[in-house]
Amino acid sequence: MKKLLFIFVSFLMLTKSFATDKDAHSLLIKNPQLDLTDVFVFKAATPGKTVFIMDFNPESKVDALSNYSEQGIYRFCIGDDANFTHGLSPTFTFKNNQIQLYMANHAEPAIDELGTFIGEGPISKELEFSNGIKIWTGTVYDMFVGNVPGFEIFRERAKKGIYDLTSFDITSKANLSTKNISSVIVLEIPNNMLPDQLYYYATTAIENNDKWYTIRRVGHVLFSQLYIFDDETMITYLNSKHNDEAKIKNEICEIILNYVTVAGLQRKPEKYVDKLLTKIYPDVLTYKVGSDATYSVDQINGRPLQVDAINVALAMLVGSEVPIDDNVGINLNNFQDKFPYVVPLGENYNQAIYRAVQVQAEPVNLLFDKHEHKIVSKKSKTFKNQTFVFIGAFILLVLGFGLRIKKRMHK
């Protein structure tokens, strides 16, 4: 039992040993709040809107304010083409038990850039912004659910040239993942603030000793766990953004080719590898705004909540035309058809007399200009500059008060 638990935990912690340099390993260990695990995008129940959800911190506790990092940045990077030439980045921070929303006028802004401040509101409340945006953040049953012990066995057998799906018959310990609790940020945004075609992924970042680090990055489900095993490759991956890196591409080719060859499901393994690479790398997802989201072996268009995407990811890895059941399914009771689309845990939301809070958004034009390919906004702020403004104002206040006292003493 202890061995299986160790395998389970070690897999979830796998990517925690990688980041932009050696310091980032300890940063993620110290800041599990920034451990981003999943991202979902789909058409909202509210007409004319799109939903973005990021799932993070698998060590969350129900209603605990410590679930969120007050030093970190959470972000969706959204481009209007594969080169992320133009776009926007909804960015979030947590201060004083509230969530802050910023909008960066770039698809891939500088790591510490927040963008234009839009508004803020309390955690665990449905924040209804006057510009049509809605946000909810709180705790849910973790949406990252899979047969981790089974996959470890499957992977080791594949290395020995054995394709064995009975590896996933271990379910008693694997089902532990269905009881994990995580935190989420749910963003419902009007379609007129978005490009018609989205290219997107999510990131978390934090500053340490005057240097910013990308801690986690998520696009396709289980991408880093399935396709990246080398330390240097992971570092390159986290820094590459949307770019196509030859080093990453070559290593992914080798990994996929090994699995496909062992499985023996494709007549022309090399041809299949080339086809799959165009679908999963660079690690950026696409979504046509207003359409039904799909995450299947044949088509990826956003990612809905009600699909067991891990089964799809396993199928693509080995060249199967149908999903491979890892014997740990998602619980559809954890989702709902209306905002916030997940089922919140805890008393802060479920026993609240008023679940919604009205937020007056800053008067910024956030309509996405289809011709200029950008939103119109004010000058962007950085995480550090925002802090310095408050500190600077306080220092000036103290100095001014001191000068007044000094003048009175001279009199």
- DSSP-assigned beta bridge partners for residue 187: 52, 135
Residue type, 182: S
What is the distance between the alpha carbons of residues 223 and 80, in angstroms, rounded to a whole number? 22
Tokens of 177: 């993942």
Residue type, 297: V
* Higher pLDDT pick, 54 / 146: 54
Q: What is the pLDDT at residue 172?
A: 60
Is beta strand 356-359 parallel, antiparallel or unpaired with respect to 126-129?
A: parallel
16-26 pLDDT, tens digit per residue, is 333 344 566 67
Half-sphere exposure of 283 (CA within 13 A, CB side): 29
pLDDT band at 145 (very low <50, low <70, confident <90, very high): confident
Tokens of 300: 């990826």
210-229 pLDDT, tens digit per residue, is 899 999 999 999 888 888 87
pLDDT band at 301 (very low <50, low <70, confident <90, very high): very high
Residue 177 has pLDDT above 80, yes or no: no
Q: What is the pLDDT at residue 408?
A: 52
Helix (H) or strand (E) holding 227: helix 223-227
Q: What is the pLDDT at residue 309?
A: 93
What is the distance between the alpha carbons of residues 143 and 343, in angstroms, rounded to a whole number? 11
Across residues 302-307, what is the average pLDDT? 96
57-77 pLDDT, tens digit per residue, is 999 999 999 999 999 999 999
Local structure of 314: helix, strand or coil: helix
38-47, 180-189, 227-236, 371-380: least confident range: 371-380
Tokens of 400: 């001014």
249-272 pLDDT, tens digit per residue, is 999 999 999 999 999 999 999 999
Residue 380 has pLDDT above 80, yes or no: no
22-26, 56-60, 85-89, 389-393: least confident range: 389-393
Residue 399 has pLDDT above 90, yes or no: no
- DSSP labels, 152-220: HHHHHHHHTT---GGGGG--TTGGGGGG-EEEEEEEEEEGGGS-SEEEEEEEEEEEETTEEEEEEEESS
All residues at 6 or more sequence positions from 165 whose CB lies less than 8 Å from its CB, including other chains: 154, 324
C-beta of residue 293 within 8 angstroms of C-beta of residue 304: yes
331-345, 367-381, 397-411: least confident range: 397-411
Q: What is the pLDDT at residue 16?
A: 36
Residue 5 has pLDDT above 60, yes or no: no
Tokens of 313: 């990811």
* Higher pLDDT pick, 178 / 19: 178
Residue 326 has pLDDT above 60, yes or no: yes
Helix (H) or strand (E) holding 410: helix 383-410
Q: What is the pLDDT at residue 23?
A: 64
- Round the average pLDDT of the chain to a whole number and report it: 85
Tokens of 54: 């990021």
